[in-house]
Amino acid sequence: MSDNMQSPSEEVDLGKLFTIIGNGIKNIFKGILNFFKEILHYLTLGLIFFKKNAIILAIATLLGGIVGYVIDMNKEKIYSSKMILETNFGSGHQLYSQNNYLNTLIAKEDLNTLSKIFNISNAESKSLTSFQVVPYELDKNILKEYDSYIQNTDTIYTKGFTIEDFAKRKKEPDFRLQLVTAQAKTQDVFNKLSNGIVSLIENTHYRSLLEAQKEDLEVRKTVLEKNLKVIDSIRKRYERVALLRAEKSTSGGTNISLAEQNEGNKDIDLFKESKAILSMLRQVERERVSNGYISSIVSDFSLGKTNNNILSKKWFRYALLGFVLSIFGIIAIKLNTYLNNYQK
């Protein structure tokens, strides 16, 4: 018998193996089919339940909606308005702290203090209901600050430092762009609030940081401008020397002395240095613009508007509550009937 021929026992074993694999695949598909059959079964039961109790569910939902609508009609309207504020020198922490302070004043109905802060009447102060602060468009905020951090930090320290690592180190008050939301019972009070919020942020500590930053930038600018003038003066002197040598040279002479070559190289080095100083001056100017304030209003409060989100409407919430409670009520009644019959 040749080596390529298989024994009958081997053929039987392979047949059993294929049979087992086939049965396993059939069982898998059968299980999946049974799973979907069970889902369809329970969906059908649910539809039957809703069909049998449709009138009760509809009445409960309608009654809940009517009650919620009456509450909506009788309650005072609350208007909201938003302001985008850019903070500097870490003053976002002061913004969050003062936000809590304002909400405390509102809760205590300290109308006199609120009136002094915002320079408004007591009646307008009484209309205020809350303030909220959150980072403005968090993802864009992180991307913008990460990009600024990478550009202004030595690559030795930023190598392998991902935007995810950067985001983990930042807390909400650390972001420069903040969204301030004010809520009030009247619409005409919002345009009077921004100056008061800014004044709460800009205390003596941050003013001293701002002044120190301005002085530092002014000193850097003065030093760079002086260095630039010195370099320009030296380059002009080299230019005059080169012209004098050119005038003294013979008409047929083409030799270039070692001194002239060195002066040419020095002029190139000075040109590069001058270019670097100009770049640093531009950087100082950018810092002066971006850090020349403690807080800056990017977008001021607008005329307030009511919240039109359906989830915040009482009629929707009460209608949903009536629907859910009626389902539980029907189930409880059926369960009670079942238990009574089971005891018998």
Q: Give the model confidence (pLDDT) of 75-112 as tens digits.
A: 778 889 999 999 888 899 999 999 999 999 999 999 99
For the chain, give the mean pLDDT. Answer: 82
Contacts of 202 (CB under 8 A, 6+ apart): 91, 294, 295
pLDDT in tens, 29-77: 888 888 888 899 889 988 888 888 889 889 988 998 888 888 877 777 8
Which of 116, 144, 111 lies closest to 127 in space, CA to CA? Answer: 111
Residue type at 297 in one-letter notation: I
Domain boundary assignment for the chain: 51-75+309-328, 76-207+297-308, 212-293
pLDDT score of 155: 67
Indicate if the pLDDT at residue 238 is higher than 50. yes
pLDDT in tens, 309-322: 677 778 888 889 98
What contacts 24+ positions apart, CB below 8 Å, involve 200-205?
200/94, 200/95, 200/98, 200/101, 200/102, 200/117, 201/87, 201/91, 201/94, 201/95, 201/98, 201/294, 201/295, 202/91, 202/294, 202/295, 203/94
Contacts of 192 (CB under 8 A, 6+ apart): 118, 119, 120, 124
Output Rg (C-alpha) for the chain, integer angstroms: 39
